[in-house]
Amino acid sequence: MVDQYDVIVVGGGPAGSTTAGYLARYGHRTLLLERSQFPRHRIGESLLPSMMPVLEDFGLVEACRNAGFVEKTGATFIWGKTREPWDIRFSDTPFLPSGFAFHVERSVFDQILLDNARRCGAEVNMNATVLEAIREGDRIAGVVYRDGETGGTQAVRAKFVVDASGSASIIGRQVTERRYDDQMRQVAMYSYFKNVRGAQDFRNKHIIIESCPKGWFWFIPMNSERLGEVSLGLVTGREFEDEIRAKGIEGFYNEALSEAPYVNELIGPKAERLEEIQAVRDWAYTCDETAGPGYYLAGDAAAFLDPLLSTGVSLGMLAGYSSSVCIHSVLGNPEMEAAAAKFYSNNYRQMYEVTRDFLHYFYAGNASAHPNDLFWQARRMLKFDENIGAKQAFSFFINTIPGNPHPALQKQIPMFHQFMNNLDHSVNEVKEPAGMEKIVTGGFRSARELSDEDVPIVNGRLESTWRINRASHTLEPIRGITFDRDRPVFSSTSSWLLGRNVSPLEDSACDLMELMDGESPWSTIIGNFSGKAGLPLEEARKRTAEIVAPLLAEDYVLVQGRAAAQ
């Protein structure tokens, strides 16, 4: 049968509209099917700088300003050992792609993105509910949907289906297993207020998060005619099910609010609630495969993480970009299908795992603030890898690039220390991960020149993988060194979705690094290199020195042994 479309995107939230916008822009016949009529309400109002390049790509930053969205400049936490607020200011972290993001009214923001997808050339059908996938062998080859206008069902076929249907994950549930994070099955209750006092200083553009005995509150400044000036939500636990039933949602929420003094002060005495308090599920999950034959899952359809770090919408948009690049690459070169799916799935899995570990670490680190409260006693037990938690915290705050210390580190290192000092974990507790032990206990160090008896080791992992070419929006092969979860420094959470932090290296450098087993000295390596390359020993030594000089300069290669002669 003939495919009517290149791609069908299910769902018109941030993930779906971003995917459809890019694919249509790359010239592919794209159909987006959205169940509801817009505008429609959604929770998830505070965004991250990591999604700003997407808005910039589409020229939508001005549209967001014109919509009156508050420019978000950072986050303030009342979290940890003291009740003193502490801040993350985006402008202090120069490796973020933007110094600000937005706090948005989702019904307006999602409409902006959907209109943009349409403008880019995607065909958009509203009131179109996808019912099931069309399968062809093990391939997803289209969908069946109900047309809300006519009441009839339609079958449409495409080379790819992107499921961006949010937590409904209508296709995802048919093709892969969802895995819940049993330790993070939470509940959220939220509403909107006007006539609030708000922060009286630079924090008036921050999301403010205050932990309280029953969980934590978000205070998101908004600027909405309909929803007022503040979105105020409580994240709490399943352990209170009975209490919530007894007190009612409103009673429970108000009682929790009375135990959050900082937020109460921000709300002020004149605040008026504009809506009923709504309760929603906040259960973290991921799934086994986020891409496979004929399908990709993006946004909440793929995975959901607790909102403490405000990651949801931004991750959905980055997944939209990443899935569009993968599909664009495969439509241009069908032989890449398996590699592209693997690239996407691996990135999703790693992003989910490191962020989940960091969230567990963040929660557990607040336990001593409320030592006798049920919610926090349970979170003290959260499982995480102490190393990953601290290292992720480090990269979250420092955002550094290996071998490229930036003057702004002077500001970022205190931010990291402030974080670690506030939480119950101490920096000293951090143990070196398996690979690092060797480096640390073996006394590996920087060197700038070859010395026969030095033993070199690769300070990272050599990989042959793929990366996104931002000019052609396709995947291209890359060979180089990665700094990933086993390494001391790695890139910030969101960027995991776009592929790992690979520093490209020439084949000659990779070939040489493959000979570094952490035990052989340079003399042996040069001998092996001479044999492999068919070069006389002296020439091999000269060539090795040339190849290795930039690797030593960047600390991609460390050495063990006496200090190299200067």
| Chain residues in the site for ligand FAD (CB under 6 A) | 10-16, 33-36, 42-47, 129-130, 164-166, 168, 170, 188, 233, 280, 282, 299-301, 307, 310-314, 316
Shortest Cβ distance from residue 316 to ligand FAD (Å)? Answer: 4
Q: Which is nearer to ligand FAD, 77 or 466 (CB)?
A: 77
Q: Which is nearer to ligand FAD, 310 or 350 (CB)?
A: 310
Question: What type of residue is 316?
Answer: G
Q: Which is nearer to ligand FAD, 17 or 387 (CB)?
A: 17
Shortest Cβ distance from residue 42 to ligand FAD (Å)? Answer: 5
Q: Which is nearer to ligand FAD, 169 or 350 (CB)?
A: 169
Q: What is the CA radius of gyration of the chain?
A: 26
- 179 three-class SS: strand
Name 502's bridge partners: 482
Closest CA to 462 of 393, 516, 414, 413: 516
Dihedral sign from CA coordinates of 31, 33, 39, 43 = negative
Shortest Cβ distance from residue 370 to ligand FAD (Å)? Answer: 20
Shortest Cβ distance from residue 26 to ligand FAD (Å)? Answer: 20
Q: Which is nearer to ligand FAD, 297 or 439 (CB)?
A: 297
Q: Which is nearer to ligand FAD, 311 or 422 (CB)?
A: 311
Q: Are 342 and 475 in contact (CB under 8 A)?
A: no
Q: Are 24 and 8 in contact (CB under 8 A)?
A: no
CA distances from 208 to 44, 93, 275, 349, 396 (A): 14, 18, 21, 29, 18
User: Whole-angstrom Cα distance, residue 74 to residue 296?
Assistant: 32
3-state secondary structure 531-559: HHHCCCHHHHHHHHHHHHHHHHHCCCEEE
Shortest Cβ distance from residue 247 to ligand FAD (Å)? Answer: 20
Question: What type of residue is 162?
Answer: V
Shortest Cβ distance from residue 430 to ligand FAD (Å)? Answer: 29
DSSP state of 366: T
Output the six-digit token pair for 250: 């409103």
Shortest Cβ distance from residue 441 to ligand FAD (Å)? Answer: 42
Name 465's bridge partners: 478
User: Whole-angstrom Cα distance, residue 163 to residue 319?
Assistant: 11
Torsion of CA 437, 438, 441, 445, to 10 degrees: -110
Q: Which is nearer to ligand FAD, 232 or 369 (CB)?
A: 232
Q: Cβ of 462: how many Cβ atoms within 10 Å?
A: 18
Q: Which is nearer to ligand FAD, 246 or 280 (CB)?
A: 280
Q: Which is nearer to ligand FAD, 168 or 515 (CB)?
A: 168
Q: Beta strand 153-163 with 5-10: parallel, antiparallel or unpaired?
A: parallel
Shortest Cβ distance from residue 25 to ligand FAD (Å)? Answer: 18
Q: Which is nearer to ligand FAD, 233 or 237 (CB)?
A: 233
User: Whole-angstrom Cα distance, residue 214 to residue 542?
Assistant: 66
Shortest Cβ distance from residue 467 to ligand FAD (Å)? Answer: 24
How remote is the C-alpha of 37 from its chain's centroid?
A: 29
Q: Are 198 and 204 in contact (CB under 8 A)?
A: yes
Q: Which is nearer to ligand FAD, 43 or 545 (CB)?
A: 43
Q: Which is nearer to ligand FAD, 18 or 544 (CB)?
A: 18
List, in order, residues 6 or more apart from 242 with CB less than 8 Å away. none
Shortest Cβ distance from residue 212 to ligand FAD (Å)? Answer: 16
Show contacts of 374-377: CB within 8 Å, 24+ apart.
374/237, 374/239, 374/240, 375/213, 375/214, 375/215, 375/236, 375/237, 375/239, 375/240, 376/211, 376/213
Name 291's bridge partners: 296
Q: ∠ CA 203-312-40 to the nearest 5 degrees?
A: 95
Q: Which is nearer to ligand FAD, 143 or 551 (CB)?
A: 143
Shortest Cβ distance from residue 290 to ligand FAD (Å)? Answer: 12
Dihedral sign from CA coordinates of 169, 170, 176, 182 = positive
List, in order, residues 6 or more apart from 377 with CB less than 8 Å away. 367, 371
Shortest Cβ distance from residue 439 to ligand FAD (Å)? Answer: 37
Shortest Cβ distance from residue 527 to ligand FAD (Å)? Answer: 55
User: Whole-angstrom Cα distance, residue 171 to residue 294?
Assistant: 11
Q: Which is nearer to ligand FAD, 282 or 357 (CB)?
A: 282
Shortest Cβ distance from residue 146 to ligand FAD (Å)? Answer: 9
Q: Which is nearer to ligand FAD, 231 or 482 (CB)?
A: 231
Shortest Cβ distance from residue 230 to ligand FAD (Å)? Answer: 13
